[in-house]
Amino acid sequence: MGEKRIALAAPEQCTGCGACAKACPKQAILFRDDEEGFPTPFIQADKCVECGLCSKVCPALNSAKSEPIRQAYAAQILDRDALKDSTSGGLFTVLSREIFRRGGVVYGCVWDEQYNAVIKKAENEKEMKPMRGSKYVWSWAGDTFPEIEAFLKAGRTVMFTGLPCQVAGLKNYLRKEYDNLYLVDFFCGGSPSPYAFHEYLKTITCDVPLDRLNFKFRDKSKHGVGVHISYEGKNGRIHQSYVRNPYFFSYHTKVFHRKPCYHCQYRYFQRVEDLTIGDYWGVGRFHKEFDIRAGVSTLLVNSDKGEALLASIRDQLQLSPTRVEDIALGNNLTLGDKRVEFHAPAFRSAFFATIKTRGWTAAERKFLFNKTRLKLWLKQRMPDKAVSAIKKILRRRG
């Protein structure tokens, strides 16, 4: 047999959406973890019939159809209990409730028992609640694609929520527009390595096992909306800012994102989804009318379907029209600005190598106790006056 001519996306391009494996009529594509712990597809040559469907549906090789943003809003759910539990303004909950009211199915991300982030379906509020909360880890969506297609063909309303590359993967996989499908994505600052996350988890699960950890990335309960982590510790619940928490600090250095995140083609003004949700960082500069500490979302409307869905949930939201440019000021990495470089720090491969050979704590000590973190930490703990006094002294000392 001659050499196979079918090529999947290169590892630097593959987002791991799973569309290729699910589209393959011979189930010839399997996934295995690469050296950074990202599941990556490979073709079993003996099963491949070279139909080429895998590369046709790949959102890295073929950009999914996109539309320009039509309208932008600042938004917050009126239900205060749901708002407390949501990452930003609670739009995901409002949208899900509308889909359930129509007898539909919602897809979103939950933790499994081993703290892997996976996309699952929910048919009611109880099943939807664990989807709330951003999980800053790469998530597996692929298994849901055939199920979604079956629901759509049976005439059921479906809302898929996920990261932009996952939505693009689903859209390419379906290869057909469905009136009963709503696609919703989130601004995404990058999808981190599940391996790195689990190595970090090992350092905090010595006293409290995984099933009692209740790990939350964006806990508003103590400090309001922001980037605070919380989890159960030996002596009660631990709350940490993103600077204090080594995993969340690493996320902000972009050290362990999946490789294509650094040149993501889905983070611009052209959107592949009906609606896009994000955090409205800096909203106070433009909208004084919101309770900002409770969390405000941005909502981008990108299609007729998106407009119609918004019309049916308006009464459950505090909603103010806003400017895309103002949103982009606080979210320039995830929305639009091609001048903003999104690159990995120089120590990316050394960071992974150190975790592999000496564990998370050694990697943290070697790469994450740096000047930037110290400065941020001081800034968070001290009033501005004290920070500038220290800076002055340091400058004098050279």
Ligand X SMILES: Cc1cc2nc3c(=O)[nH]c(=O)nc-3n(C[C@H](O)[C@H](O)[C@H](O)COP(=O)(O)OP(=O)(O)OC[C@H]3O[C@@H](n4cnc5c(N)ncnc54)[C@H](O)[C@@H]3O)c2cc1C
User: Which residues are near ligand X by CB under 6 A?
Assistant: 86-93, 108-109, 117, 131-137, 139, 161-163, 186-189, 191, 277-279, 297, 331, 334
State the minimum distance, in angstroms, from the CB of residue 39 to ligand X.
14
State the minimum distance, in angstroms, from the CB of residue 7 to ligand X.
27
Whether 185 and 164 have beta carbons less than 8 Å apart is answered as: yes
Rounded to 5 degrees, what are φ and ψ at 282?
A: 80, 15
Please, which residue, 340 or 353, has the CB nearer to ligand X?
Answer: 340
Please, which residue, 218 or 305, has the CB nearer to ligand X?
Answer: 218
State the minimum distance, in angstroms, from the CB of residue 56 to ligand X.
24
- The number of angstroms, rounded, from the C-alpha of 335 to the middle of its chain's C-alpha atoms is 14
Residue burial 244-255, b: 16+ Cβ < 10 Å; e: rest? bbbbbbbbbbbb
State the minimum distance, in angstroms, from the CB of residue 359 to ligand X.
24
DSSP for 288-339, written as a single string: -SS-GGG--EEEEE-SHHHHHHHHHHGGGEEEEE--HHHHHHH-TTTTT-TT
Q: Rounded to whole angstroms, how far apart are CA atoms 38 and 350?
A: 17
- Dihedral angle sign, alpha carbons of residues 117, 58, 93, 333: positive
Please, which residue, 20 or 170, has the CB nearer to ligand X?
Answer: 170
Of 86, 89, 112, 19, give the one whose Cα is nearest residue 277: 89
State the minimum distance, in angstroms, from the CB of residue 336 to ligand X.
12
DSSP for 140-160, written as a single string: B-TTHHHHHHHHHHTT--EEE
Please, which residue, 100 or 187, has the CB nearer to ligand X?
Answer: 187
Whether 255 and 345 have beta carbons less than 8 Å apart is answered as: yes
Please, which residue, 58 or 119, has the CB nearer to ligand X?
Answer: 119
Please, which residue, 53 or 271, has the CB nearer to ligand X?
Answer: 271
- Dihedral angle sign, alpha carbons of residues 288, 292, 293, 294: positive
Rounded to 5 degrees, what are φ and ψ at 125?
A: -60, -40
Q: Rounded to whole angstroms, how far apart are CA atoms 250 and 245?
A: 9
State the minimum distance, in angstroms, from the CB of residue 146 to ligand X.
18
71-77 and 317-321 beta bridge pairing: antiparallel
Please, which residue, 50 or 125, has the CB nearer to ligand X?
Answer: 125
State the minimum distance, in angstroms, from the CB of residue 360 to ligand X.
19
Please, which residue, 29 or 141, has the CB nearer to ligand X?
Answer: 141
Please count the CA atoms within 13 angstroms of the CA of 72 that sit on its side-chain side: 19
* Number of neighbours of residue 338 by Cβ within 10 angstroms: 9
State the minimum distance, in angstroms, from the CB of residue 319 to ligand X.
14
Please, which residue, 74 or 188, has the CB nearer to ligand X?
Answer: 188
State the minimum distance, in angstroms, from the CB of residue 206 to ligand X.
25
State the minimum distance, in angstroms, from the CB of residue 247 to ligand X.
13
Q: Rounded to whole angstroms, how far apart are CA atoms 195 and 192?
A: 9
Residue 270, beta-bridge partner list: 68
Please, which residue, 174 or 183, has the CB nearer to ligand X?
Answer: 183
